[in-house]
Chain A
Amino acid sequence: MTQKFEFTVNGKPVGVDLDNEETPLLNVLRNNLGLMGTRFGCGLEQCGCCTVLIDGRPEKCCAKPVWSVAGKSVVTIEGIGTPERPHPLQQAFIDEQAGQCGYCLSGIVVSAKALLDNNPAPTRAEIAQALDDNICRCGSHNRILRAVEKAAAQLRGGQQ
């Protein structure tokens, strides 16, 4: 039976009609809403490629049934910033050339955003800890850590 699921994505209300209420949010974002920035890496909640913010918390959405986000606010990489108005994290990732294949980056930027929202002055170890659920197979880790540190400093108003 078709049901309608309503929530917000990047601040805009959306309603999706689905037969299967267990459809993972990731599939809804990618296949129903055409938001391809949130990537599929495993579907097993193990790699972090699909990380989005749900009511401000970083969550993997590849196995999160759509019913569980009804009425909630979802923010994806597309909602973090755009080339015209990049988030300081995105600008820092560009400045540090933080990435190789870049497949992991959507999830990492979202995880980093969640960290900085809660902890504006994380140590390098805290950043690493916060990103431990995100796998980067290309070995871009150190650049990514530098970029997050840089963005944090920028967001704090350029001190340090």
Chain B
Amino acid sequence: MNAPVLPGPLKDNPSLARWVAFPAPGQVAINTGRVEIGQGVLTAMVQIAADELDVAMTRIAIRSGSTAVTPNEGYTAGSQSIQFGGVAMRQACADVRALFLAQAAKVLACPVNELSIRDGSILRKGASTGQDYWTLAGAVDLNVDAGGSGARKPIAELESIGTSSARLDLPAKIFGDAIFIHDMRLPGMQHARVVRQPNRGATIGSVDERAILRVAKAPVAFVRQGNFLAILGDDETAVDLAAVAADSHVKWQNVETPTAIQQEANWLLQRPAVDRVFGAEPADAKGRERFERTYSRGYLAHASISPSCGLAHYDNGHLTVWTHCQGVFPLRAALVKTLGLEASAITVHHVQGSGCYGHNGSDDAAADAAIVAMQLPGKPIRVRWRREEEFIYEPKTPAMIVKVHALLDEAGKPTDWTQEIWSPTHNQRPGAGGNLLGALALPHPPPEPPPNDVPESNGGGATRNAEPLYDIAAKRHIHHLVTETPVRTSALRGLGAMPNVFALECCIDELAERAGVYPVAYRLAITADQRARAVIEKVAAMANWQAGEPGGAGRGRGIAFARYKNRAAYAACVVELDVDEEIRLRHVWCATDAGLVINPDGVINQLEGGIIQSASWVLKEQVRFDNSVALGHASFDWETYPVLKFSEVPEIDIELINTKDEVPLGVGEVTAGPTAAAIGNAVSHALGTRIRDLPLTRERIMASLLKE
């Protein structure tokens, strides 16, 4: 018999003791490598364990993201926590349950199939046996490798999975408990701020310590290593004042400031790039006209509501780091390289921060704290970035140009589709060989990482969702990985999926219009995938979409669809909006097939979040540069980088379908692309003219109206 295939994270961390323990009578402890970033993952993990172990949720305590105790599951990213991490948890618990049932059968001298478990107690033919997980725990060694043969419960028997359990972490946030990393205080702790190196290669010319001390009004100290300079002290207010003063009293040399022209996606077209082609060369189009359209999006900020924060304590040769980053193990690996410590001398713990939506400044803030802590053994160090620091120095998601070239048949349907992409990398996470910001300022900065992007096996970076799911005879994409950028770029929710789906789904709408077919029917005519058809039909019904709805009078509706990464969840959105000089979103309908749903309300919450964030990107957001402002960064606070406000969010209706499928599919990022494209399509429907560049600003709307 073939050995069962283990879910990836379980194969990587096979010891069951890494996943499950029974620490005291009545108590269960589970460990996950995934971390809570506001998506409700810990609650979902507890639901999974409750079902597969047959214990009440209230018995389960969960630990997450610690190099000391939890499995190494890489990053909490890419909508993979449930799709992979949850499946691994489910199998680990099923294996544990099977081991205990086998032991119980031995103790009770009966066949396993007479046994069942109810809230941790072993029952024989439904009657209690006096045995439970805790009486048997001494005899069951969980320091064994998972075999993957423990039977997972049939979907129909799941009780906890599939219910909208209340989020376990939410009450603490509603009552204002000290649960965020920002709230950690350690005895003897020093507050620190880093005087940021403006760019790789910039060097400190002079530091006017006396001027800075005068402003601080209380004692602060300086720690310097190469071009890494930090200011620290007991009094956070003084440290903050000093950090602000340092903006004018620390002089830098070799400063490069980005310029306004570099903020536009078009700037990428003439830059050096590494080119890759996926799929065959374009078909011979001789004598046939290609349908070509070009779409773009500017740089975006993660703009997490809390600036990044990290704590570190170097004591007796061991470094302990607390971080809200998405991957404690990759961060540890990067710290090993930066600090020259052995991995065994570093422990990294995750503590919750605000939503990050990707690779923001969190890893860097942790590294900042670690670098300072290494200079001051015995003293716990807390670094908290300033708001401006977060906006200017967090990695941005890259600007992108996406050009679609299509060949059409007589009915106006695509037969040959090429999507050509210009984009800087979407991955400079520390684990990818990307660098921690503080490390670049140290005396021996690491070399520039070689050009890379997320591999196709992980869903691609700039190429994510570059291939339509539609039935098109020939599909390919061309990736120009632009290697020269004005700012550091890295992962933001969905990576290239948003610009690619925006381009693809807007282009599909343009083709539908050209063919005179209404957008829902046009999509269905080129889609055999039953699950894709189901969400498209569902959302059209939810929105009561009528063929040939009149548009062009300032109100419009648009639809768009995607399957995230072409292998995670399916979503289709309809957007209704009004446009005069500006866009006002009225309503968004969304149908999603995420396969097996662990927590329906949790999934809907994430889908809503994805819709609103994407709407914010599309309507308002672009990181701007201007070399007449300090350091060239014109987006440095909430006024210069506004996001969608309460009075601007639309009504949202979401329905989940096919929730009892065997396989769960990640949802955190699936709505970003369809929302963006549905807004683009609705604006075109409302105005009768199309805007292909994001964000859809007032200036662009006015310009497009003037063109008419």
Residue ranges of A at the interface with B (Cβ–Cβ < 8 Å):
19-20, 22-24, 27, 30-31, 35-44, 46-47, 49, 76-78, 81-83, 86, 90, 93-94, 97, 99-106, 109, 125, 127-129, 131-132, 134-145
Contacts and interface: CB of A to CB of B under 8 A. Distances in A.
B169 A40 contact: no
A144 to B, nearest CB: 8
B61 interface: no
| Secondary structure dominating the interface of A | loop
A44 B354 contact: no
A109 B174 contact: yes
A151 to B, nearest CB: 12
Interface in B20-46: 37-40
A143 B173 contact: no
B183 A100 contact: no
B355 A137 contact: yes
B467 interface: no
Nearest to A103: B354
A97 B605 CA distance: 8
Contacts of B353: 101, 103
Contacts of A35: 176
Contact of A39 (B40, B180, B651): B180
Contacts of A27: 236-237
Nearest to A134: B646
**Which 10 interchain pairs have the tightest Cβ spacing?**
A37-B176, A102-B173, A101-B38, A139-B612, A77-B176, A103-B354, A139-B609, A36-B178, A100-B38, A101-B355
B646 A141 contact: yes
Nearest to B640: A46
Interface in B613-668: 613, 616, 637-639, 643-647, 649, 651-652
Contacts of A127: 646
Contacts of A106: 173, 176
Interface in B228-257: 235-238, 240
Contact of A145 (B170, B609, B646): B646
B428 to A, nearest CB: 22
A139 B605 CA distance: 9
Interface in B572-628: 601-602, 605-606, 608-613, 616
A81 B690 CA distance: 50
Contacts of B4: none
A139 B606 CA distance: 9
Contacts of A100: 38-40, 355, 605-606, 609
Given A97-B166, A102-B169, A140 B609 contact: yes
B177 interface: yes
B647 A41 contact: no
B306 A94 contact: no
A126 to B, nearest CB: 10
A63 to B, nearest CB: 11
A58 to B, nearest CB: 14
Contacts of B38: 99-102, 138
A77 B602 CA distance: 25
B351 to A, nearest CB: 13
B217 interface: yes
A139 to B, nearest CB: 3
Contact of A125 (B357, B610, B647): B647
Contacts of A135: 305, 638, 643, 645
A138 B167 CA distance: 15
B539 to A, nearest CB: 18
B152 interface: no
Contact of A137 (B305, B307, B647): B305
By CB atoms of chain B within 10 A, which of A42, A136, A137 has the most? Answer: A137
Contacts of B307: 40-42
Contacts of A99: 38, 167, 170, 173-174
A119 B176 CA distance: 24
Given A27-B237, A36-B176, A94-B166, A47 B305 contact: yes
A133 B644 CA distance: 11
Contact of A49 (B178, B305, B616, B646): B305
Contact of A97 (B167, B304, B355): B167
A40 B646 contact: no
